[in-house]
Chain A
């Protein structure tokens, strides 16, 4: 018996208070409420989280790995954005 799958959701979990949500995995669910409850059952069985986000996978727009080189190129030659680019004389402190 073949039937079509429920929509896919991506699951994001906040591990501890003060941390940001991090991608944990995905699951199928009929609606977002079921996605949230199933995410709790599947991804936080050992108190791994204090907050969960579920997002329909189709709503995520991702950068294309094939364009990776061109897409991230503008940042590659701007080493002056890093503090280690600058010389500071020996003996200068608190900088």
Chain B
């Protein structure tokens, strides 16, 4: 999902006896569903995993403003423009909540920003796809924010208190994002034949990348077991992906759009939809920098940071006076 590129967690080898005992007490707290707070003892690997996951999540919120920002000056009505602006402002806010949560673990904001700009830190692959027509903004809200919510709701119960509290706030705000997108794309699906075609085209292009947001398939995702044991994660990638598909298929049917998967079929015995094979080569390519918009996204982010330098300097000079 927003943190789909986590490269495994460090091991707990080379621990002293004291550390081992502390680790047992820590796991017992997790097992009792106690929240871990910033000043509590925690294993170094737990801290490191959280810093990486939360900061990647924050970077995704920040980069995620770009595909929608591209349409701000071309929104068809003042109402849609106001909605879009509000949504983009929310994404900036979500980035801030998440950076703040990461900082409680003892990292500096400037280091996190530097990791994003230097390309050392990743963000969600989904934001490296272009928004080509206005209906794409509907597909983004409906599918991308829908998938994000599916991932973030269990994170509201994450064992790390500041992350869980940030997620509660984000989820409250995010439900408007999904609903406005679904309304937008259903208006177009029910519009003229040309508008309907644009809506279908947007869905065709966004469906598979949205499914990739949940990260690699469980059989290729060796490192989620530690996160599950620590209750950072509550469901596996494939479980969340399946929940998302099951929730979304009827929503597409309702507005007369067809999901671009010939293998999509209700499986009555499982109580789930079966779906086709995801192109994991594409996923890896986009995540590793070779997607349609990776270069552009980083150029715009870097320029925004550099062009804002004088504002930061001026504010600091003013505060010193």
Binding site for B on A (CB under 8 A): 1-6, 8, 25-28, 30-31, 34, 41-42, 45-46, 62, 64-66
Contact = CB atoms under 8 A, between A and B. Distances in A.
5 contacts: A1-B114, A2-B110, A5-B108, A31-B315, A45-B93
A3 B110 contact: yes
Interface of B: 37, 39-41, 86, 89-90, 93, 96-97, 100, 103, 108-111, 114, 117, 166, 169, 173, 305-306, 309, 312, 315-316, 318-319
4 nearest interchain CB pairs? A30-B319, A31-B319, A30-B315, A26-B100
B55 to A, nearest CB: 14
Given A2-B114, A3-B312, A5-B108, A27 B39 contact: no
Nearest to B313: A3
A6 B316 contact: yes
A65 B39 contact: yes
Name the residue among A8, A25, A31 with the largest chain B CB count within 10 angstroms: A25
Contacts, number: 56
Contacts of B111: 2
A27 B312 contact: no
B93 A42 contact: yes
Nearest to A31: B319
A25 B97 contact: yes
Name the residue among B96, B103, B173, B306 with the largest chain A CB count within 10 angstroms: B96
B49 to A, nearest CB: 20
B108 A45 contact: no
Nearest to B96: A42
Given A2-B114, A45-B89, A66-B41, A28 B109 contact: yes
A65 B37 CA distance: 9
B309 A1 contact: yes
A8 B86 CA distance: 26
Contact of B100 (A25, A41, A66): A25
B110 A31 contact: no
A66 B25 CA distance: 13
A69 B240 CA distance: 39
B315 A1 contact: no
A48 to B, nearest CB: 10
A17 B312 CA distance: 35
B318 A30 contact: yes
Given A1-B309, A45-B93, A64 B39 contact: yes
